[in-house]
Structure formats: C-alpha cells, structure tokens
Chain A
C-alpha cells in the first residue's frame, strides 16, 4: 500500500480547480477545466477541510472531532489513502 504521509504536509486543491456543493446532484463535486468529479460524502468532507492552512494532523483532528464514533486508527488510514489517491490523480497539491 502507499507509504505513510507526513502529518505536517499541507494539501490544497489544485490551483484553478473548484469544490462546490451541487444541490441538483446532492453531492460535492470537484470542477476542473471541462470536467467534473462527483464525490462521495467522505471525499467531500475531507476536501472541504483542505483550506491551504491545515496540515494533515490538523485535518485528522478536525475529522475526529466531527466523527467521534469513527475508530481513530481506521479514520487515519482512510484519510491517508484518500489523500494519496487524490494527490496521484492531481486533484490536490502540496508545498
């Protein structure tokens, strides 16, 4: 599986891409030049929190606060996997 993500990494959406809630589709979508990705609930929740200031540690802390019933280990693993995928797909950048 993917290597561990440095918890001090600060991710942000790829410049020029936009995240927004679409009432008609009842989901968050990621919009980019001439295209769109429909996001599931957890992907939408994670990307909404990538404000260019929060690092991965702060992101996890915020998600733990919002989803107190989620097992901490599992949550961290899911989030790291998502960030890894999203980064590979070019949806998010860091640095």
Chain B
C-alpha cells in the first residue's frame, strides 16, 4: 500500500506558482514491483498491472536513487506491490542509507521474517510501515483474500517493534471494517505502534473499480471519527504516545484535497518499469510519462511536459481559475477529475463548486444501494488484471 501523502510537514512548504520555478523533489516513492501476495479490493495499483513485466534492475534502482538524492530528495519509500518480493531489497536499502535517505519500508509484512528484519536493520532501514486490513482475522481475510495473512502480520509487527524500529501501522478503512475502528485502534495500541494511519480508502485503481462497494456511509464515518477522538483523549491521559491520523474520504468533503502537495511539487514516484510519475496513480491519465531508462530524473522533473503539465495555475479551468483557494488545493486531484469526468483538466468533482459535483452525489447514492459483502468485490489479482490488459 503506497502512502497517500508526502508527510504533513513537507506539504506545508510554499509551492511555486508557475512551471518556471518548480521546487525540488523531497520525496521519492520507489514502487519496486507490482507483484503482491495479497488481493486487496482497494489497491491503488493500476488495473492493468499484469501487463508490466519489465522491472528495473538493482543497478537501475541505485542509479535512480542517486539521481534523486542529488536533486535534494531526502525521504524514500520502498513500496509496491509488495517490496519484500524483491530479493535485492536489502541491497537497495544499504545504498539508499549510504546516500543519506531516510528509508521507509511500506509493506504488508508478508515475506518478512526475523532474519530479514535483522538484515534490513543491518542495512540501515529507518522505519517499517505495516498495513493491517482489519481488527480481526475474518474481515481481514475477506478483504485481502488470504486467510493466514492477519496472524502473520501481527507476529511481524511485534517482531518489528522488538527490533527497535519506529512503527507506523496503516489501516485502509472502508464500509466493511470502519465499524470495528475501536477494536482496530486497540489492536494497534497492543502492538506498540508509534502512529496509526486510519486512512479511508482513496478511490483509485482497484478501489475505483469497487468504489460503490467500499465507500462508507456518512453515519459510519462520523461514528468512526468520534471513536478516534475518544481514543486520542484516552491515550493522552495514559501518556501513551501513539499518534492517530484519520483521513476522511474526499467523497464526503466540500473541497478537494491538496493532492500530493501539488502536481510535481515535492513528490516523485518511480514505477516498477521505470516510469516516473507525479503520484502513484497518475499513469491512468491519458498522457505519456517519461522513464528513468530514457532520461535523467533532473530532466524529467524540471523539463518534461508531463511534470510541467499541471504546475502553477495557467492550466486551470473555471471555477478554479478565479478561485481564492486555488493555491491551497491546486484544483484537487487530476486522477480523480479524469476518472469521474473523462477530462484530466477538469476541476476535481469533489469540490462543491465543480459543475460535475453531482457525479460525487450520484456515487454516494449508488454506494448506499450497493449491498455487496467484502467477499463479492473484485479482488486485485493477476487473473482479474488480465481482463484490463486486453481492454
């Protein structure tokens, strides 16, 4: 599960107004592979991931990391798919750490064992983020398509803490697990998490395909937020330092999110095949993205058409163009605009001022009528993906 934001503090830095003077990339997300043992129906990977076979080699990754570091990137996320599938992960962590990156492993924990935790520690890995699908094994199995994964994750979370890492647990919330949030937070507390991301799933990739079966109701959302707030207060009383970050689904917001802190502002993803993207969802857009196999990251970041396409505000349509908030939310998310309207330059329909906002309302209504269980959603696996490769 890739991260959804570039870190709150980083996002606060001022962002350039026009394509002429972009800031430097501070975040490199290295999506090492699309291979993954789980089949989460909310995965943000592209639907046609099965068409991607040509993963970057160890040397190509090291070269990309060196270039990004030279440009000023300092946070590095190893993500996927499941990054532990790559047997050269320890080598990549060693190199990244030598370069001075703060290294984050964003993992399902499947493929982790105590030997590997030790080897990653030795390599200098700074932080491990483990995803949990639910508070109990049955719901977790229904969501991830694996009956054994939950127990394995809990064992590995304990091992990660025992090895002295800071640990962030990430729980993607949706209608099938959000009502268990009290048990989920209790579990994270018990596992010794330093922070918990309670992130309502963002509706891209597989999550977009399954969106009406994932989106919680407003009542579910409000109850979950209230429970989270009660936990914050109780944790403070106990002096327990476990930060709870609650991310609301933007389908219930009045204004769009400031996606990635702005297009090509602080964040850069390198996909398994070397494609360079302003965020991990962007390859769905009807445009061509450059590759580290063909150009330097410096050229791509500063000069490519793709990275300059939505910088600044000159590209914005009405109502964004004249809106006082256009430098706060940057017109919202380009992927969401495209997925919902077919036009990547449209105002994000999440915005109540968008002429397409009724699409969001319609999806909420459709979701309310969707009675599918977690088992009935489309699982993210190679078999299903091949349908989209042919399409």
Query: Contact: A33 with B166, CB < 8 Å?
Result: yes
A7 at the binding interface (Cβ < 8 Å): no
Query: Contact: B24 with A24, CB < 8 Å?
Result: yes
Query: Contact: A16 with B165, CB < 8 Å?
Result: yes
Residues of chain B with a CB closer than 8 A to A37's CB: 9
A79 at the binding interface (Cβ < 8 Å): no
Known: A18-B126, A20-B100, A31-B102. A36 touches B75 (CB 8 A): yes
B241 at the binding interface (Cβ < 8 Å): yes
Name which residue of chain A comes closest to B164, CB basis: A15
Residues of chain B with a CB closer than 8 A to A29's CB: 74
Count A/B pairs, Cβ under 8 Å.
62
Nearest CB on B from A19, distance (A)? 11
Query: Contact: A33 with B74, CB < 8 Å?
Result: no
Known: A33-B194, A34-B7, A35-B10. A22 touches B72 (CB 8 A): yes
Known: A16-B126, A16-B127, A16-B166. A35 touches B72 (CB 8 A): no
Residues of chain B with a CB closer than 8 A to A67's CB: none
Chain A, residues 7-35, CB within 8 Å of chain B (1/0): the string is 00000001111101010110001011111
Residues of chain B with a CB closer than 8 A to A16's CB: 126-127, 164-166, 194
Query: Contact: B3 with A34, CB < 8 Å?
Result: yes
Query: Contact: B72 with A34, CB < 8 Å?
Result: no
Residues of chain A with a CB closer than 8 A to B166's CB: 14-17, 32-33
User: How many residues on chain A are close to B (CB under 8 Å)?
Assistant: 19
Q: How far is the CA of A20 from the CA of B164 in the complex (A)?
A: 20
Residues of chain B with a CB closer than 8 A to A68's CB: none
B168 at the binding interface (Cβ < 8 Å): yes
Candidate in A16, A29, A37 with the most chain B CB atoms within 10 angstroms: A16
A95 at the binding interface (Cβ < 8 Å): no
Name which residue of chain B comes closest to A90, CB basis: B241
Which of B's residues lie within 8 Å of A, judged by CB?
A: 3, 6-10, 13, 24, 26, 71-72, 74-75, 77, 100, 102, 104, 126-127, 129, 164-166, 168, 194-195, 241, 243
